[in-house]
Amino acid sequence: MCLPLGMSKNTLSTDDARDQHGDPAGILEQANEVFEDMVTLRRDLHRWPEISNHLPRTRERVLEALEGLPLDITLHDNTSGIAALLTGGKPGPTVLLRADMDALPMPEDTGLDFKSNVENAMHACGHDTHTSMLMGAARILSSRQADIPGRVLFMFQPGEEGYNGASEMLAEGLLDVGTDSPVTGAFAIHAASNIPGGFLGLKPDTIMASSDTMTITVKGKGGHASAPHFTMDPVPVACEIVQALQTLVTRRIDVFDPGVITVTQIHTGTTSNVIPETAMINGTMRAVSERTRTLIHDGIRRVAEGIGAAHGMDVDVQLNLGYDVTVNDAEFASFAADVATAVSGDRNVRMMENPVMGAEDFSYVLNRVKGSMMFLGLMPEGMDIMKAAPNHSNRAIYEENHMRRGAAVYSSVALRHLGVRLD
């Protein structure tokens, strides 16, 4: 079987996992019972996507879906974040489950009956499914409140798509839940539209890269295009910098500790017969370790400024820090894989060989609390994996049936982290 994301078979068998963690049949049955409500919420969020840290309609709709549950709800002030705390019937620590709620600024071309009604806004990264699965988990776990030795903190987060919503919620005291029941574990599930439906993928250590941006401005002297010798043309210098950045990656960065530099924009000039005064380069940098991240930053500055100096031009380099590397605790990743195996079977759980070069602000939660992120395949049934539109595509489609498995895994890892056997 060809597995996406370089996945290898999990070593723990289903029987072993269920011997260790218990039989999840009861939780799977409950996931089926709340499935229609998950679909209803998901489709409503999909029709009315919102962008950034301020999602007033989304927050209102999530609160409606949580209404009636025994949750202590805190509404964050600086964002539309929701922290919903379930206190069990017995004392114990707190486990955090997270879902992001925001959409992307892009048009939708899926043709779905419930496609976006908002111009240039789309749930193209599956956050509508994340939110719905976490709502389902909140209902499942609330029904088991009396048997829970501890608490479950449901983190409904805005602004994952570049707005650092997780850090905003942390700054507002998300983890300040008291010393008697501290947060001792954190888990998140991320949907993927090009991983076969129902597959769960995760790995120890780095699972997602850092994400930073660069703006490089080459400052020359403009003039008439017929007489470049009277000018200092920044255009060829900018082109030279772009090429040299690719060499930087292949000759200075360890292939076993990789990084990516991608130039996405070059802005310069106004017309064909004018040599411009400046040329601007924009792009992104990714790394799977802080060591490589630092090497890339230092290298970009050295290369750009050095090439500019060689041509007698000043170069301004602006490097903007984005999200940190997302690092799963090795023991927590193994634990999550074992629990997921008990829920889904060993055929459906895979350990990823390589990290994903995308980035996530769940990294900031994992910087504070040990835990694990995992990927859930929601590729539509019968679709060719080579043709499936990936996350962030205007044609990305997510299979809803497997949201049941996501809600069951959310619920199961929370219960097992708190010491409750599955039943």
183-196 β-sheet, strand order: 7-9, 349-352, 200-202, 371-379, 183-196, 90-100, 149-157, 82-87, 71-75
End-to-end Cα spacing for the chain = 31
Here the tokens at position 304 are 């750009």
Instruction: Tell me whether residue 400 is one of the annotated catalytic residues.
Output: yes
Residue tagged active-site, from 161, 168, 400, 410: 400
Spatial neighbors of 360 by CB under 8 A, at least 6 apart, are: 160, 188, 190, 208, 323, 326, 373
Instruction: Tell me whether residue 119 is one of the annotated catalytic residues.
Output: no
- Residue 379: strand pairing partners: 196
Which of 112, 103, 117, 113 has the alpha carbon at shortest distance from 47? 117
Q: How far is CA 269 from CA 119, 154, 228, 279, 420, in A?
A: 31, 50, 14, 7, 65
Backbone φ and ψ of 251, nearest 5°:
-115, -10
Q: Is 321 exposed, middle or buried (0-12, 13-18, 19+ CB in 10 A)?
A: exposed
Residue tagged active-site, from 323, 364, 398, 410: 323
Spatial neighbors of 273 by CB under 8 A, at least 6 apart, are: 224, 225, 226
Residue type, 364: Y
Cα separation of 360 and 373, whole Å?
Answer: 10
Q: Are 244 and 393 contacting, i.e. CB atoms less than 8 angstroms apart?
A: no
Active site residues: 323, 400
